[in-house]
Amino acid sequence: MRPHEPRDYRQKAHARGLTAFGVAVRQTDLWVQTETPLPDETRGLVLEARRQIESYIAEHPGFVQALLPLQEDVLAPPLVKTMLRAGRAAGVGPMAAVAGAVAQYVGEGLLGLSPQVIVENGGDIFLATRRDAKVSIYAGKSPLSKRVGIRIPAERMPTGVCTSSGSVGHSLSLGESDAVCIVSRSPALADAAATAVGNRLFKAADLAAAAREASHIPGVLGGVLILKDRLASWGEIELLAL
């Protein structure tokens, strides 16, 4: 992972009635919104999340490099088990789920302290609000970037909205998509699925087949795929023009 990169979009993503703050611990850089400021509690959850992952990597170094699913490990820490399950469901290595899994772990921990929580981890979001939420999709140089989004109904929260890209950011993607945005009740699964789908996208002709394959991943509710000036969407989502 690389050091923290400027994320100017965060200042524009402020939910009404919530307090926003950032928490950064080494490579983990979160933007959090809660009903009252909880930076110390958030930092504690991040440290625990990192402890679980780092301690497992120390004993299982192949965990980081794996690009294919790994077997279940009943002795793994809870967060690592979440990553392993997500990777197996999506057909990718467990580290493809790390950003979504950390957002999920922190978000679920904060829900005990704040009825409304948003945790964003480099484009991977844990979302739990009392109102419907609109999520804008950033797709790099695509003409559709920030011009389309999705609405997440309050009754479907908490949920995860995770985005992967082959043209934006430093996450590993074998494809050339501008954005693969996946919605799932599990942010870890949404993150892993976004990587899996993005790996299959190289040209506009791949969009329909990639959407069909994504629709068969258990636990994925829907998504939006963007490649240059083309878009495909499916599932239980409401697409918005922004």
**Residue 36 belongs to some domain of the structure:** yes
Strand pairing partners for 152?
A: 133
Tell me the pTM: 0.90
> What is the structure's pLDDT at 146?
93
Low-confidence stretches of the chain (pLDDT < 70) are 1-14, 166-175
Question: What's the CA gap between 73 and 94, in Å, rounded?
Answer: 12
**Residue 16 belongs to some domain of the structure:** yes
Q: Tell how far CA 183 is from the center of its chain.
A: 9
CATH code (residue 214)? 3.10.520.10
pLDDT digits (tens, 9 = 90+) for 144-203: 999 999 999 999 999 999 999 865 544 555 667 899 999 999 999 999 999 999 998 999
**Residue 53 belongs to some domain of the structure:** yes
Return the number of other C-beta atoms located less than 10 Å from residue 99's C-beta: 28
Question: What's the CA gap between 138 and 12, in Å, rounded?
Answer: 13
Under the phi-then-psi rule, with left for phi > 0, alpha for psi from -120 to 50, and beta for the rest, what region is 228?
left
**Residue 1 belongs to some domain of the structure:** no
**Residue 189 belongs to some domain of the structure:** yes
Show the domain range for 202. Answer: 8-241
**Residue 59 belongs to some domain of the structure:** yes
How many domains does the chain fold into? Answer: 1
**Residue 3 belongs to some domain of the structure:** no
**Residue 2 belongs to some domain of the structure:** no
